[in-house]
């Protein structure tokens, strides 16, 4: 950082027209809003800063807490908006569902005011707890913890400038400024994994161990991603729509860890699966690429290994049934459906029109059978009455592993995958220095 006393210097807030700050009313987010406002004033930013509180409507006290945030924001001369999580709440997995709803609602507010960033108050304490929980579950890549910048839905950066700042330091800032905060009783409820982990961590020395481990893991993850990106760019080609061929050299890459990571990414992307296949099964598949011909399925993906290369395509099983198309819908985890203004209603199906497929431009040594199989898994948008293709509708490839969340740790392989698939490239994160990706 250019100034270690101001963690916001990591990011370039200067040119931003608008910023959303997620403020729940707890000490972390209250300090976030105060310090972010001071930072923007110091650099002379013209950005419109909007404090947004997501009311999950899970506790009767939440209404008063929201009102306190609104009063605090008004005292800073800032606009405030409350958005409520509507609808039935799940009986299991409530924390994960609430987190997903929170990000979705924050993203909607960012889009409404033309903001491309959301700033959250995650602290070093949160980072240590996250790494400890992931370590208990044996989550290898997850040991890097939360990224300082994560791309949400391919368009909005979630920034976490306080990841290196301890919670108690933030509370001291508030105390010195005479500012109070709300305490969510769920933060003391041992029914939640994070609360139990927080109690187990206890001492600062224990937290420091996890924080140092997260920094090391993040550096390793970025380096592995850069190597995997090079392998994808060099040895993977889209030889027909929905059909990728891996060169024979893919299986003999010197960096086996990078080749395995690249294969896991490609399997996930071609199958439209958000989670990468596990190391063991993907590793066994990679080993087989050095042998004789075979055909296998993994992560909804067909892998056909031949003398002239290895082909990857989505398997036919489990494709979505024909249904009405929705704007901005992610279809089969592989394509986002877009509707131009004035376009009518449409239906979407996998290769549903039974149109003859021309293979005149098929590359040499690419089996026509595989081209037909791949084309049959692609989305077709059509008018239900005429069965003709619907004008104004398009299907844009998305990167399944990072369709919802793209940590800045993974920018290199995401860019290589996007170039392969023809997906829109992710925007650069708003770091103050172009060569900074993690803090």
pLDDT band at 360 (very low <50, low <70, confident <90, very high): low
Give the CA angle between residues 189, 215, 167 to the nearest 5°.
Answer: 40
Lowest model confidence (mean pLDDT) among 40-44, 210-214, 369-373, 384-388: 384-388
Distance CA 74, CA 60 (A): 23
For 299, which DSSP code? T
Q: Are residues 63 and 195 in the same domain?
A: yes
pLDDT band at 359 (very low <50, low <70, confident <90, very high): low
**Three-state SS annotation for 18-31:** EEEEECCCCHHHHH
Contact 119, 78 (CB under 8 A): no
pLDDT score for 65: 87
Domain range for 16: 7-202
pLDDT score for 205: 65
Contact 205, 197 (CB under 8 A): no
Distance CA 226, CA 76 (A): 43
User: pLDDT, tens digit, for every residue of 208-254?
Assistant: 888 999 999 999 999 999 999 999 999 999 999 999 999 999 999 99
User: pLDDT, tens digit, for every residue of 267-324?
Assistant: 999 999 999 999 999 999 999 998 999 999 999 999 999 988 899 999 999 999 999 9
Angstrom CA distances, 248 to 89, 237, 245, 269, 305, stand at 50, 12, 9, 20, 10
Lowest model confidence (mean pLDDT) among 84-93, 255-264, 367-376: 84-93
What percentage of the chain has pLDDT greater than the value 70? 90
Q: Are residues 23 and 168 in the same domain?
A: yes
Q: Which residues of 381-417 are buried (b: 16+ CB within 10 A; e: fewer)?
A: bbeeeeeeebeebebebbbbbbbbbbbbbbbbbbbbb
Q: Which residue has the higher pLDDT, 357 or 349?
A: 349
pLDDT band at 436 (very low <50, low <70, confident <90, very high): very low
What percentage of the chain has pLDDT greater than the value 90? 72
pLDDT score for 387: 76
pLDDT score for 68: 93
Distance CA 205, CA 119 (A): 28
Q: Is residue 225 included in any domain, yes or no?
A: no
pLDDT band at 349 (very low <50, low <70, confident <90, very high): very high
Q: Is residue 23 included in any domain, yes or no?
A: yes
Distance CA 429, CA 150 (A): 8
Q: Are residues 196 and 344 in the same domain?
A: no
Q: Are residues 331 and 197 in the same domain?
A: no
Which H or E run contains 382? strand 379-382
Q: Are residues 337 and 196 in the same domain?
A: no
pLDDT score for 185: 66
Point out the domain boundary residue: 175, 202, 229. 202
Across the range 341-351, mean pLDDT stands at 90
Point out the domain boundary residue: 202, 235, 261. 202
Q: What is the CATH number of the domain that holds 78?
A: 3.40.50.620
Q: What is the mean pLDDT of the chain?
A: 90
pLDDT score for 58: 67
Q: Is residue 175 included in any domain, yes or no?
A: yes
Across the range 34-50, mean pLDDT stands at 96
Residue 98 predicted with pLDDT over 50: yes
Q: Three-state SS for 138?
A: coil
Q: Is residue 177 included in any domain, yes or no?
A: yes
Contact 159, 117 (CB under 8 A): yes
User: pLDDT, tens digit, for every residue of 140-170?
Assistant: 788 999 999 999 999 999 999 999 999 999 9
Question: How many independent structural domains does the chain possess?
Answer: 2
Q: Is residue 344 included in any domain, yes or no?
A: yes
Q: What is the pTM of this model?
A: 0.90
Distance CA 411, CA 345 (A): 35
Q: Is residue 308 included in any domain, yes or no?
A: no
User: pLDDT, tens digit, for every residue of 126-140?
Assistant: 999 999 888 877 767
Q: Is residue 275 included in any domain, yes or no?
A: no
User: pLDDT, tens digit, for every residue of 50-88?
Assistant: 999 998 766 667 778 889 999 999 999 999 999 998 877
Q: Is residue 294 included in any domain, yes or no?
A: no
pLDDT band at 189 (very low <50, low <70, confident <90, very high): low
Point out the domain boundary residue: 202, 222, 241. 202
């Amino acid at each position: 950082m250019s100034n270690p006393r101001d963690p916001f210097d990591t990011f370039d807030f200067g040119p931003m027209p608008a910023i959303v700050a997620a403020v729940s009313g707890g000490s972390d987010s209250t300090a976030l809003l105060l310090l972010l406002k001071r930072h923007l004033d110091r650099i002379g930013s013209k950005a419109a800063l909007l404090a947004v509180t997501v009311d999950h409507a899970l506790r009767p006290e939440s209404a008063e807490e929201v009102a306190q945030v609104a009063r605090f924001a008004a005292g800073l001369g800032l606009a405030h908006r409350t958005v409520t999580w509507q609808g039935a709440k799940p009986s299991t997995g409530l924390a994960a569902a609430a987190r997903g709803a929170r990000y979705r609602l924050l993203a909607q507010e960012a889009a409404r005011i033309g903001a491309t960033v959301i700033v959250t108050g995650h602290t070093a304490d949160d980072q240590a707890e996250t790494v400890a929980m992931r370590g208990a579950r044996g989550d290898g890549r997850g040991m890097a913890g939360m990224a300082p910048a994560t791309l949400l839905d391919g368009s909005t950066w979630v920034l976490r400038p306080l990841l290196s700042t301890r919670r108690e330091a933030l509370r001291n800032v508030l105390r010195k400024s005479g500012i109070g905060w709300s305490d969510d009783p769920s933060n003391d409820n041992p029914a939640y994994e994070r609360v139990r982990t927080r109690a187990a961590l206890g001492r600062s020395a224990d937290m420091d161990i996890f924080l140092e481990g997260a920094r090391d893991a993040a550096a390793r993850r970025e380096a592995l991603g850069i190597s995997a990106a090079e392998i994808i760019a060099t040895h993977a080609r889209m030889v027909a729509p929905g059909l990728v061929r891996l060169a024979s050299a893919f299986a003999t890459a010197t960096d086996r860890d990078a080749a395995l990571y690249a294969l896991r990414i490609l399997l996930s992307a071609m199958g439209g699966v958000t989670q990468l296949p596990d190391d063991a099964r993907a590793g066994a598949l990679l080993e087989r690429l050095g042998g004789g011909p075979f055909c296998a399925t993994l992560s909804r993906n067909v892998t056909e290994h031949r003398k002239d290369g290895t082909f990857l395509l989505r398997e036919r099983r489990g494709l979505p049934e024909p249904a009405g198309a929705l704007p901005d819908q992610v279809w089969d985890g592989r394509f986002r459906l877009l509707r131009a203004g004035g376009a009518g209603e449409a239906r979407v199906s996998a290769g549903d029109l039974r149109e003859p497929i021309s293979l005149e431009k098929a590359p040499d040594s690419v089996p026509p059978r595989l081209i037909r199989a791949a084309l049959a898994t692609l989305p077709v948008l059509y008018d239900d009455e005429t069965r003709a293709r619907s004008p104004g509708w398009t299907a844009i490839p998305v990167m399944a592993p990072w369709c919802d969340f793209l940590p800045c740790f993974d920018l290199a392989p995401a860019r290589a995958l996007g170039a392969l698939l023809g997906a829109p490239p992710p925007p650069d994160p708003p770091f103050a220095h172009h060569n900074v990706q993690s803090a």
